[in-house]
Structure 1
Amino acid sequence: MLVLTTSAFEGLAITTIAAKIAQDMQGLHLYGWIFSAFLLSQLVGTLVMGQQVDKQGVFNSMLVSFTVFVLGTIIAAASLNMYMLIGGRAFQGFGAGALITCVYACVTLYYPDSLRTQILAAFSMAFVLPSLIGPYFAGLIASYISWRFVFWIVIPLIAIALLLTYRSFRDLQRSQQVTGGARAIDSRTGQAILLAIGTGLLLTGLGMITNWQGIALSMGGLMIMIPLMHKLLPQGTFLVQAGLPATLVTRGLYVACYFATESFVILGLTELKGLSADTAGLLVAAGSLSWSGAAWLQARLDAKDRGEGRKRRVMLGIGTMIGGVMLVILALFLQDTGIMLILISQIIIGFGVGLANPTTAVIALQYAELGHEGKMSANLQFVDSFYVAMSIGVSGALVALAETMRWGISTGIFMVLMLQLLLVLLSFLSSLRISILARHKHSSAGQKIDTLPM
């Protein structure tokens, strides 16, 4: 819980202070890369660690993940320019993706299917405290001390988390079936690295698409990305086939919408509405609180209907998000609208994603084969990282394009939010093809527990 709480605090805090960082370092044109660098390297971290969990065990994988995350945090805190900060965020992303993959793998190994929605709902509580104090606290620190301290204060928290989980993960590794013999870099890892590079080229090119260099970079990035996506994503993903492919596409699209909307609403509130970073952060954080509440609700509903209503809950959650995104657009761009409408929209969007997100995770984990739990966990984190990286990256390119063409920041933010509305609409269509397994054939593989430890 502390691992996830620390990660949640960092995510919410950086979302709050990113606009100030970009302004202080004169890098507003690189605003999207504060998030994209993190997410693209998170993509690599999830795939690397998904294999290492199965081959080297969860304990060794967790130690490496902690180390890389802390290294990235130090680099970001001590950064001298925007490019160094982006480099630190890349290390942070790798470590964070690896950490969360380890956590998901542990859930799959230890808990039977009937309890997974409950433990994932419990994990959602890790967002409550950061949501209550994180954005406001980070905004105050950035405004009155320095945004660098927002990075520094994470290190002691992550160290405490390691001390608390050290023995538990070591004991879990002893009971885990570990294949061993992992190579430093195998084909899947190399493909993930190339995909991150190709995506980076595409996003860089989109930001300068008005000249021939931007067009060349974009085309080169696409040529690298498309064949690799066919290899890394489960078969049938491009066609949104029923079952696991449709589940992952649905999840990737609405998660991309949620995090990109959250990131750029902060920019809109500070640039268009003139709000301070701490106030804007508090408004957006309301979405995380309603996310937690909805996650608990879906866990209770899942226990009541024994998983029969999972598809309906996913569709209801996405439909709720559609209404929330539309309300955000109205609140930001209609005159004489107060911050209360922004607050309501964030609560609605957060509730929708909280209803859908644990549910799609449980549906996907049903497809995990025995001994390959880490791979399925990595698939979940892969679609989260890749779709969000693409959405935020393209959104950042739209803002940069608006600046280049002198359309103004308001036009850039409007294009970004319309893109997010399109993504969540496509997610709803994809959710129609989700199918639920009657009962997970490996639900008895985990240790049988009568009550959920809290």
Structure 2
Amino acid sequence: MASSQSIFAPRYLAMSIGIILAAMAIGFEGLAVTTVAPVIAGDLDGLPLFGWIFSAYLLAQIIGTLVVGRQIDKSGPALLFTIAIVLFAIGLVAAAVATDMYVLIASRALQGFGAGAMYTCIYTSISLSYPDELRAKILGALGTAYVLPSMLGPYVAGVIASQWSWRFVFWGVLPFLALAMALSMPVFRKLKMPNHPDSGEKGVVGLSVLLAIGTGLFLSGLGMLPKPLGIALLIVGLALMVQPLRKLLPAGTLTLRPGLSSLIASRGLFFAAYVCTQNFLVLALTDTKGMSADRAGLIVASAAMSWSVVAILQARWDAADQGRGRNKRIMAGILLMLLGIAIMVWVPAINIVTAVLGEIVTGIGIGLAHTISGTVAFALAKQGEAGKVSGSLQFADSFTPGVAVGIGGAIVAISQTGGIALKYGVTIAMTFNIALILLSLVASARTERASQSPA
């Protein structure tokens, strides 16, 4: 490959390595916390607040993603990326020295805000720094950088927590952040945002906070179902979420308007289905099949492996057809995800062979659809809206999966309350993932009909 066609050519080397390291730091920290969270809650006597270790991160990530996504088009990514890394680092240090659960939860909120803002800056830098023919390659590398920690992060975190202390999990991320900042910041400072008229959007911060509050109430209500208080919180939360979603997402996203709006909706839906499948497959393997956690983790990691391979290969395919087959590859990826999840949906019959096969097929599908959807989104973005589109992409990757996992968890909990065996409750939750994929397929078809070839 000629150096001019490589994301590691001298012109792009520092930026590519910097943002890849940043993505790896975010991915490792997020997945590592999943492993050590029970240990943290027990050590800090905070088991009643266990869920907030994750909820605080998600809700703050929503605010960071949306606020920075709007601000970045006006001021550029350099300062905002610096602030994001600093806040993320402060959150890591605060978590490492936390002596009670409330400090830990506050630190997770700082980490979530910083992670959402960092990823928005990263996506914006990709839109501004790389030509269209290289975006598929850098997004593939970025996807691989985020996925690889899913194979190593939980195991490494478990070893660190058992051999030393869970606090070292947070300390260990700081060097990666420092190196990422040192490499990428000189390039970030040179990026210039295209001039664009003020969109007239007002109250982004307020809407983002309102959305976070509504999401928090919605998720809390899901956790209390079928109690009346849970139903009330769910309804209030949903009511608070609707208006911010309409205002903050591309117009027509909730109604699958053809074009960028339907693309963002499709990405959020198929990524939510992927994340939910991973969560509930582990539950199915450990709690209904009696499999050990480490073996279940290895099975789930097979999807990450196939995702990583396809994320690299699709860049070559994109170069071969000069981007003309992007929408078709997204559709093919979603269809493969549908097949993979369908293989695993009937939990009573699942075994190691079907689980590994389903995970590999699902990984191939997400490896195609996720990377290419980002490339198409940047091609569809209007001039001066790189930050806004970047924020929408990151929002789709965080908000929708968080809500979907909450809904899936509520399905399992309600089935248990109703006396339904766990294996059937998880099957219903997996069927919900099928519904998300089918809706994503509809949205993707509308995108394909509406968009022109970016080539």
TM-score w.r.t. structure 2 length?
A: 0.85
Q: Give the secondary structure class of the aligned counterpart of 2:447.
A: coil
Aligned match of 2:218: 202
Aligned match of 2:128: 109
Aligned match of 1:98: 117
CA contact (8 A) 1:139 1:278 kept: no
Query: Structure 1 residues 289, 26: closer, same or farther in 2, change over 3 A?
Result: farther
CA distance in 1, matches of 2:41, 2:438: 31
Residues 1:224 and 2:229 aligned together: no
CA distance in 2, matches of 1:414, 1:144: 37
CA distance in 2, matches of 1:260, 1:135: 17
Q: Give the secondary structure class of the aligned counterpart of 1:366.
A: helix
Measured against aligned partners, the alpha-carbon deviations of 1:89-117 in whole angstroms (never above 9, x if no partner) come to: 33222111111110110111112222211
Query: Structure 1 residues 386, 130: closer, same or farther in 2, change over 3 A?
Result: closer
Aligned match of 1:372: 385
Residues 1:151 and 2:164 aligned together: no
Aligned match of 2:372: 359
Matched letter for residue 351 of structure 1: I
CA distance in 2, matches of 1:344, 1:350: 10
Residues 1:135 and 2:154 aligned together: yes
Measured against aligned partners, the alpha-carbon deviations of 1:103-161 in whole angstroms (never above 9, x if no partner) come to: 11011111222221122122233146524432322233344544443333212222222
Measured against aligned partners, the alpha-carbon deviations of 1:168-213 in whole angstroms (never above 9, x if no partner) come to: 22233xx445889999x95122101101110111111122122222
Q: Give the secondary structure class of the aligned counterpart of 2:256.
A: coil
5 Å-filtered alignment, 1:170-189, equals 170-172=189-191, 175-177=192-194, 187-189=203-205
5 Å-filtered alignment, 1:294-333, equals 294-330=310-346, 332-333=347-348
Measured against aligned partners, the alpha-carbon deviations of 1:76-100 in whole angstroms (never above 9, x if no partner) come to: 4445566654443332221111111
Matched letter for residue 308 of structure 2: S
The structural deviation recorded for 1:11 is 3.1
5 Å-filtered alignment, 1:26-65, equals 33-65=52-84
Residues 1:291 and 2:310 aligned together: no
CA distance in 2, matches of 1:284, 1:240: 31
Q: Give the secondary structure class of the aligned counterpart of 1:237.
A: coil
Of the three residues 4, 7, 14, the one matched with 2:33 is: 14
Of the three residues 351, 357, 361, the one matched with 1:344 is: 357
Of the three residues 85, 95, 99, the one matched with 1:66 is: 85
Which structure has more RCO (C-alpha within 8 Å, separation ≥ 6)?
A: 1
Query: Structure 1 residues 29, 363: closer, same or farther in 2, change over 3 A?
Result: farther
Q: Give the secondary structure class of the aligned counterpart of 1:433.
A: helix
Measured against aligned partners, the alpha-carbon deviations of 1:347-371 in whole angstroms (never above 9, x if no partner) come to: 2211110100111111111222222
Q: Give the secondary structure class of the aligned counterpart of 1:307.
A: coil
CA RMSD between the two structures = 3.1
Q: Give the secondary structure class of the aligned counterpart of 2:359.
A: helix
Q: Give the secondary structure class of the aligned counterpart of 1:234.
A: coil
CA distance in 2, matches of 1:144, 1:272: 30
Of the three residues 146, 165, 169, the one matched with 2:184 is: 165
Q: Report the more deviating stretch, 1-10 or 430-439.
A: 430-439
Matched letter for residue 380 of structure 1: L
CA contact (8 A) 2:77 2:125 kept: yes
CA distance in 1, matches of 2:82, 2:198: 18
Aligned match of 1:418: 431
CA distance in 2, matches of 1:25, 1:261: 30
Aligned match of 1:248: 264
CA distance in 1, matches of 2:49, 2:418: 16
Measured against aligned partners, the alpha-carbon deviations of 1:327-360 in whole angstroms (never above 9, x if no partner) come to: 2334x4327x2x3432332222111101001111
Residues 1:257 and 2:270 aligned together: no
CA contact (8 A) 2:324 2:453 kept: no
Query: Structure 1 residues 167, 222: closer, same or farther in 2, change over 3 A?
Result: same
CA distance in 1, matches of 2:163, 2:398: 32
Q: Give the secondary structure class of the aligned counterpart of 1:49.
A: helix
CA distance in 1, matches of 2:286, 2:451: 46
Q: Report the more deviating stretch, 160-169 or 10-19.
A: 10-19
The structural deviation recorded for 1:279 is 3.4
CA contact (8 A) 1:128 1:292 kept: yes
Residues 1:395 and 2:408 aligned together: yes
Aligned match of 1:236: 252
Q: Report the more deviating stretch, 87-96 or 107-116.
A: 87-96
Measured against aligned partners, the alpha-carbon deviations of 1:365-412 in whole angstroms (never above 9, x if no partner) come to: 122222221111111112222211211222233344456556565455
Q: Report the more deviating stretch, 253-262 or 6-15.
A: 6-15
Q: Report the more deviating stretch, 14-23 or 415-424.
A: 14-23
Of the three residues 88, 112, 123, the one matched with 2:107 is: 88
